[in-house]
């Protein structure tokens, strides 16, 4: 398994999906999801030009950040507990997974202290599956109104995870659902520009449906080993 070869393949598929959708490939940011992996493959990815890295555990960000002797844009993509915001607030450039007012307030409070503005995405549960995090689509507009008033954060867009369906058309309908919501909110005068959707299994579908950010781990780095 070579990271370089995998990456070339993913980038080629991204290019082809963008082309099918009539989109410019420069609109799409590939986030390399490095959770559970040590910093060595992270360095390798950065050296291959992948500057955007995704992590889903606050302690892992805290521990790996000082070890990684490279510039990178860290994205926090996992479920974030309020009491762990302090581990990531000074390290990550975007938090993809805001789904409660209390979490938004904690991020805001900590960002203000650091005199920064944290870009955030609101996680939406389009599929309605209970195992998935995020707000119901119909609650997103009011939630945005509530948290947009907070200083120290800036809502840039929406994020979702599709369930692992066997049927690609079901996956597609999840991504279409998020894109429709995104367009509706922008039609109401908001200025959202980030649509984070698509993982190793489904990033090409997500790109066809309008993703601006795809979060790809296994397809680049190989299967994760959770036992370590």
Ligand X SMILES: *Cc1c(COP(=O)(O)O)cnc(C)c1O
The 10 Å Cβ neighbour count of residue 39 is 17
In whole angstroms, give the CA distance from residue 184 to residue 189. Answer: 9
Three-state secondary-structure class, residue 156: strand
Contacts of ligand X in 119-158 (CB under 6 A): none
The 10 Å Cβ neighbour count of residue 60 is 17
Under the binding rule (CB under 6 A), the answer on residue 215 touching ligand X is yes
In whole angstroms, give the CA distance from residue 48 to residue 94. Answer: 22
Residue pair 45/67 in contact (Cβ under 8 Å)? The answer is no
Cite the DSSP H helix spans in 21-139: 39-47, 58-64, 85-88, 101-113
For residue 126 the two structure tokens come to: 């389009």
Q: Are strands 194-196 and 153-159 parallel, antiparallel or unpaired?
A: parallel
Under the binding rule (CB under 6 A), the answer on residue 28 touching ligand X is no
Radius of gyration in angstroms for the set of CA atoms belonging to the chain, rounded to a whole number: 17
Using the minimum distance from each CB to ligand X, give the nearer residue, 97 or 108.
97
CB of 115 to ligand X, least distance (A): 29
Answer for which of 7, 17, 52, 56 binds ligand X (CB under 6 A) is: 56
DSSP 21: T
Using the minimum distance from each CB to ligand X, give the nearer residue, 56 or 108.
56
Using the minimum distance from each CB to ligand X, give the nearer residue, 31 or 140.
31
Answer for which of 21, 173, 200, 222 binds ligand X (CB under 6 A) is: 200
Answer for which of 29, 34, 35, 57 binds ligand X (CB under 6 A) is: 35
CB of 218 to ligand X, least distance (A): 4
CB of 7 to ligand X, least distance (A): 13
Residue whose Cβ sits closest to ligand X: 217
Dihedral angle of Cα 119, 121, 132, 103, to the nearest 10 degrees: 50
Under the binding rule (CB under 6 A), the answer on residue 33 touching ligand X is yes
Under the binding rule (CB under 6 A), the answer on residue 213 touching ligand X is no
**Which of these ranges, 59-67, 98-106, 124-132, 209-217, lies near ligand X under the rule CB under 6 A?**
209-217
Answer for which of 8, 59, 186, 218 binds ligand X (CB under 6 A) is: 218
**Under the rule (CB under 6 A), what is the footprint of ligand X?**
33, 35, 56, 77-78, 161, 199-200, 215-219
């Amino acid at each position: 398994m070579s990271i370089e070869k995998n990456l070339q393949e993913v980038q080629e598929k991204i290019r082809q999906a963008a082309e099918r959708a009539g989109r410019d490939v420069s609109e799409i940011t590939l986030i390399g999801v490095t959770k559970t992996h040590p910093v060595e493959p992270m360095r390798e990815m950065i050296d291959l030009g992948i500057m955007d890295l995704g992590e889903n555990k606050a302690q892992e960000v805290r521990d790996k950040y000082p070890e990684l002797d490279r510039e990178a844009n860290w994205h926090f993509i996992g479920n974030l507990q309020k009491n762990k915001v302090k581990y990531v607030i000074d390290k990550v450039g975007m938090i993809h997974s805001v789904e409660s007012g209390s979490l938004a307030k904690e991020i805001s409070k900590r960002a203000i202290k650091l005199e920064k503005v944290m870009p955030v995405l609101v996680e939406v549960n389009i599929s309605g599956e209970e195992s998935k995090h995020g707000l119901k689509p119909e609650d997103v507009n009011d939630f945005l109104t509530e948290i947009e008033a907070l200083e120290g954060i800036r809502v840039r867009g929406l994020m979702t995870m599709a369930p692992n369906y066997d049927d690609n058309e079901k996956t597609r309908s999840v991504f279409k659902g998020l894109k429709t919501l995104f367009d509706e909110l922008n039609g109401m005068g908001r200025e959202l520009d980030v649509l984070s959707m698509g993982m190793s299994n489904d990033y090409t579908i997500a790109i066809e449906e309008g993703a601006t950010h795809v979060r790809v781990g296994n397809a680049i780095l190989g299967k994760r080993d959770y036992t370590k």
